[in-house]
């Protein structure tokens, strides 16, 4: 599951420059440091035409597969995924679940879930595996060439691979969030190769590689700060362990093995203000040294919306994008918003399903996508998730896959277009007087 996030405000001002999906990687000098390469394709980001591609964020293989006669309960959700036709789908690689023991290689057939809603809510698709998700996406790619690429996102430190860090409440860090132990870089690189080999065996195209999910959040990398100051003024020490992961993944992607493709740096949670155990995206980006951040082919940020937003320290995605603009080595490097959605994006929060709120959410999501379309650096936005997650309710369908929320029409409309085409019209489902939701298409 995803950890709690601080939210985007209703009115958003984005300050940024750059755009575009990447088609390949530059070469590195022999010492392994990032090469001083020009903007991908020689783009002048200030002259780049507006564009916005659509992505989805789910690892539920049963939902990603094309409709099939033997799974009627999932056909409505599968048709919706096909109608959105995302350019890229972000898949979690839970390293701790796929390789629980050091002496065994990462196993893409180990189960990652039961294919049910949270808490075992049906319909259930059975054991969900990384290989099954890759096979499903390969099938989608054959149906829709150029769509349904894979963004591989690692998280979950195996107990055997992690070591306690140094900083605020370091001893209390859970095993899955501990830093990579010294000397374990080769094991991490072997896990990357295993994931790449599984994708190749499935015939699935990889659009990008992310070293670690939300390295600025203690749920995924802990400790975050050197000291537990209440005002969040401790040094952001998590940038060190994250930098080691970035360097190791970059080296593997450049090594000529099965793992190839763009390096996606960031996956940063949108904290609106610093705290004793979390670091806002802009602060984390400023703290990353050039030897880490300048390796990026893409920089990714997370940010959610709600119709009744809480106040915060400005707008966190805009602050993160502004931090990118201050790094000259990132000129021409696009940003992907790899987690977004609208609803009740707080852990355990209840989603307001009244018609007025659902339509307001629908309009809010559409307006935000329009802003990102016109933001020169932003090139893609990924909806999290397809099925409602009761601990993080921003899905497109309810947990039982019986009801489609109006905001799904926004993602249908944006996904159906070419990324360089003008924004679509506001869907009818978002307008006042429209019904509050629809039944999921019958299987």
Domain boundaries, the chain: 40-439
Find the mean pLDDT for residues 381-385.
96
pLDDT digits (tens, 9 = 90+) for 404-438: 999 999 999 999 999 999 999 999 999 986 655 55
Find the mean pLDDT for residues 229-245.
96
pLDDT digits (tens, 9 = 90+) for 275-293: 998 999 999 999 999 999 9
Give percent of the chain above pLDDT 70. 84
Give percent of the chain above pLDDT 90. 75
Q: How far is Cα 382 from Cα 310, in angstroms, rounded to an integer?
A: 22
Q: How far is Cα 287 from Cα 364, in angstroms, rounded to an integer?
A: 32
Q: What is the pTM of this model?
A: 0.89
pLDDT digits (tens, 9 = 90+) for 33-72: 444 333 333 334 444 679 999 999 999 999 999 999 788 9
Q: Which residue has the higher pLDDT, 317 or 197?
A: 197
Q: Which residue has the higher pLDDT, 349 or 76?
A: 76
3-state secondary structure the chain: CCCCCCCCCCCCCCCCCCCCCCCCCCCCCCCCCCCCCCCHHHCCHHHCCCCCEEEEECCCHHHHCCCCCCCHHHHHHHHHHHHHCCCEEEEEEEHHHHCCCCCCCCCCCCEEECCCECCCECCCCCCEEHHHHHHHHHHHHHHCCCCCEEEEEEECCCCCCECCCCCCCHHHCCHHHCCECCCCHHHHHHHHHHHHHHHHHHCCCEEEEECCCCCCCCCCCCCCCCCCCCCCCCCCCCHHHHHHHHHHHHHHHCCCCCCCCCEEEEEECCCCCCECCECCHHHHHHHCCHHHHCCCCEEEEECCECCCCCCCCCCHHHHHHHHHHCCHHHCCCCEEEEEECECCCCCCCCCCCCHHHHHHHHHHHHHHHHHHHHCCCEEEEEECCCECECCECCCCECCCCCEECCHHHHHHHHHHCCCCCCCCCCCHHHCCCCCCCEECCCC
- Per-residue pLDDT, 350: 81
Q: What pairing do the DSSP bridges indicate for beta strands 53-57 and 88-94?
A: parallel
pLDDT confidence of 27, banded at 50, 70, 90?
very low
Residue 441 predicted with pLDDT over 70: no
Q: Which CATH number fits the domain 40-439, given the four candidates 3.30.70.1350, 3.20.20.80, 3.30.360.10, 3.40.50.1820?
A: 3.20.20.80
Find the mean pLDDT for residues 306-312.
57
Q: Looking up tokens 């890229």, which residue turns up? A: 88
Find the mean pLDDT for residues 236-255.
98
Average pLDDT, the chain: 87
């Amino acid at each position: 599951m995803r950890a709690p996030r601080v939210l985007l405000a209703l009115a958003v001002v984005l300050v940024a420059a750059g755009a575009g999906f990447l088609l390949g990687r530059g070469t590195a000098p022999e010492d392994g440091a990032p090469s001083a390469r020009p903007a991908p394709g020689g783009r002048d980001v200030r002259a780049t035409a507006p564009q916005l591609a659509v992505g989805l964020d789910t690892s539920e293989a049963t939902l990603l597969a094309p409709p099939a006669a033997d799974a009627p309960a999932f056909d409505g959700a599968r048709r919706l995924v096909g109608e959105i036709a995302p350019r890229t789908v972000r898949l979690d690689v839970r390293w701790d679940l796929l390789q629980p023991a050091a002496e065994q290689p990462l196993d893409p057939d180990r189960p990652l879930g039961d294919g049910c809603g949270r808490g075992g809510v049906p319909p259930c698709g059975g054991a969900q595996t990384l290989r099954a998700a890759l096979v499903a996406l390969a099938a989608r790619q054959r149906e829709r060439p150029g769509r349904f690429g894979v963004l591989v996102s690692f998280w979950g430190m195996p107990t055997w691979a992690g070591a306690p860090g140094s900083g605020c409440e370091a001893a209390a860090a859970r095993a899955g969030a501990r830093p990579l132990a010294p000397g374990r870089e080769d094991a991490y690189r072997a896990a990357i190769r295993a994931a790449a080999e599984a994708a190749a065996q499935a015939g699935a195209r990889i659009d990008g590689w992310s070293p670690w999910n939300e390295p600025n959040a203690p749920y995924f990398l802990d400790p975050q700060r050197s000291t537990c100051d209440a005002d969040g003024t401790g040094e952001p020490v998590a940038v060190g362990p994250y930098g080691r992961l970035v360097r190791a993944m970059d080296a593997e992607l450049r090594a000529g093995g099965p793992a190839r493709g763009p390096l996606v740096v960031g996956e940063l949670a949108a904290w609106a203000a610093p705290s004793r155990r979390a670091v806002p995206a802009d602060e984390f980006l400023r703290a990353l040294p050039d030897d880490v951040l300048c390796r990026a082919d893409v920089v990714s940020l997370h940010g959610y919306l709600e119709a009744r937003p809480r106040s915060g320290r400005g707008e966190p995605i805009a602050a993160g994008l502004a931090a990118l603009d201050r790094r000259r080595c990132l000129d021409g490097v696009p940003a992907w918003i790899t987690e977004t959605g609208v609803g009740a994006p707080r852990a355990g929060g209840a989603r307001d399903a009244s018609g007025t709120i659902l339509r307001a959410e629908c309009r809010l999501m559409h307006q935000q996508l329009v802003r990102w379309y016109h933001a020169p650096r932003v090139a893609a936005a990924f909806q999290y998730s397809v099925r409602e997650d009761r601990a993080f309710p921003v899905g497109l369908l309810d947990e039982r896959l019986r009801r489609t929320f109006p905001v799904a029409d926004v993602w249908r409309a944006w996904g159906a277009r070419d990324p360089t085409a003008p924004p679509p019209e506001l869907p009818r489902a978002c307008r006042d007087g429209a019904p509050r939701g629809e039944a999921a298409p019958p299987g």
